[in-house]
Amino acid sequence: MKRIFTLICVFSLCLYCSAETLFSPTWGFSLDLPAGLEFIEGDGKNSFTFQSQNGLALSLKVYPQASSALTVAKDTQSRLRSTGQTRAFTYDGKPAALLELRFQSFSGWGLVLALDTKAHLLALAYGPTRYTNLQNMYMAALNAIAPTNRSRLLPGPMIEYLYPRTERKQVQLFGTENSALIFTNDAQAAQALIDLEYAVLTEYQSSPLWVEAWTRFYRMIHRDSFDRLAHIAFILEREWRGHELDFAEQALKWVQSFAYERDLSLAESDFVNLVSAATEGRGDCDSRSLLWAILLRQANIPAGIMISAEFSHACGLADIEAASGARFPLNGTQWLVAETTTDVAIGRIASSMSNINAWIGIVFD
């Protein structure tokens, strides 16, 4: 958590930190930066520059009165004397622009996104051209930006650019007689996000920041998947009417019925994307646990997951009342534990895994 504490001191008047996400109260945008990016310059209100030891730089600047995203993008390319292309697209119903950066001995990508006001946010992720291994970091840093409060629970702008959601289709939900609407490329886009973030995560295998990077991996999947699963969650909540505990138990039995699967086909991550998990009934412990947590959060039940490197396992967490059951203490709350891969009642966990010091809790605000 060293990076977060440093940033709190720097931005005490202009940004505040909610969990691990940085938020600008002045302009309303937020960002969940890859681990290791440190603030190095800027006025702390309208301009910010972060840099990591591996050469990645992320610069952000707010344009309060810009006429359009494309205008800001073209002006930026001109000032930098960049030879890259500029492309217009739409993010969360608002005009946006993507910049390909090629200037001097630097390269990277940039975004211009509309904020809730008439202002626009310019974000540039770049580094020395010779550092070809930074491409995934550029993508992940830009995709981590949420220009508005609403977009904090929408797929990030880079994934949305690559996989725009335009047409919907009806899909059958595993093990039920119910169907729900998703966008036609939701599963593909969700998998692309996992591949991207897993590639970033592997950069921290030998880093002291591995815990921070690991927890961010799940936060980014949660953000990307939350809206993709919205109608699925609505249909299942309607099917499983009842009190919070009843709903949590029925959702738990559903994910426990999935086929155990570790998907090594793409980025060699064992995380099955949550759209495929819900429609095809398959997934590892962390896929099921995060899916279960999102279903509960869509039903306005505080939920999260806990992960353990020692046990190579993940479970769900929920802030709900129950007569008994194992609890995990986190942020002043005793979270009820849910084992998602074994047919056991909520609150039950194997005694061999009951050491709370071996677990990391992740909740989503």
For 78-122, write each residue's pLDDT tens digit. 999 999 999 999 999 999 999 999 999 999 999 999 998 889 999
Two domains, one topology: 2-149 and 168-363: no
Give the count of beta carbons closer than 10 Å to the beta carbon of residue 58.
Answer: 26
User: Please, what is the average pLDDT of the chain?
Assistant: 90
| 7-16, 43-52, 199-208, 275-284: least confidently modelled range | 7-16
Kindly give, in sequence order, each residue whose CB lies less than 8 Å from that of residue 36, ignoring residues fewer than 6 positions away: 3, 52, 53, 54, 207, 209
Share of the chain above pLDDT 70, in %: 93
In this prediction, residue 117 carries a pLDDT of 85
pLDDT at residue 264 greater than cutoff 80 = no
Share of the chain above pLDDT 90, in %: 83
Q: How would residue 262 be classed by pLDDT, with cut points 50, 70 and 90?
A: low
Class of domain 2-149: alpha beta
**Domains of the chain by residue range:** 2-149, 168-363
pLDDT at residue 2 greater than cutoff 50 = no
pLDDT at residue 16 greater than cutoff 70 = no
Give residue-wise pLDDT tens across range 125-146: 999 999 988 999 999 999 999 9
> What's the CATH fold of domain 168-363?
C8orf32 fold (3.10.620)
Angle at the Cα of 254 from the Cα atoms of 323 and 229, rounded to 5 degrees: 110
DSSP state of 229: T
Q: How would residue 322 be classed by pLDDT, with cut points 50, 70 and 90?
A: confident
Q: In the predicted model, what is the mean pLDDT of residues 59-73? A: 94
Query: What spatial distance separates the first Cα and last Cα of the chain, rounded to whole Å?
Result: 17
In this prediction, residue 17 carries a pLDDT of 34
pLDDT at residue 166 greater than cutoff 70 = yes
Give the count of beta carbons closer than 10 Å to the beta carbon of residue 332.
Answer: 5
pLDDT at residue 14 greater than cutoff 50 = no
Distance CA 197, CA 33 (A): 12
pLDDT at residue 280 greater than cutoff 90 = yes
DSSP 187-218: HHHHHHHHHHHHHHHGGGTTSTTHHHHHHHHH
pTM here is: 0.92
In this prediction, residue 132 carries a pLDDT of 85
pLDDT at residue 4 greater than cutoff 50 = no
Residue ranges of the alpha helices (H) in 207-284?
210-226, 230-239, 244-256, 274-280
DSSP 88-114: EEEETTEEEEEEEEEETTEEEEEEEEE
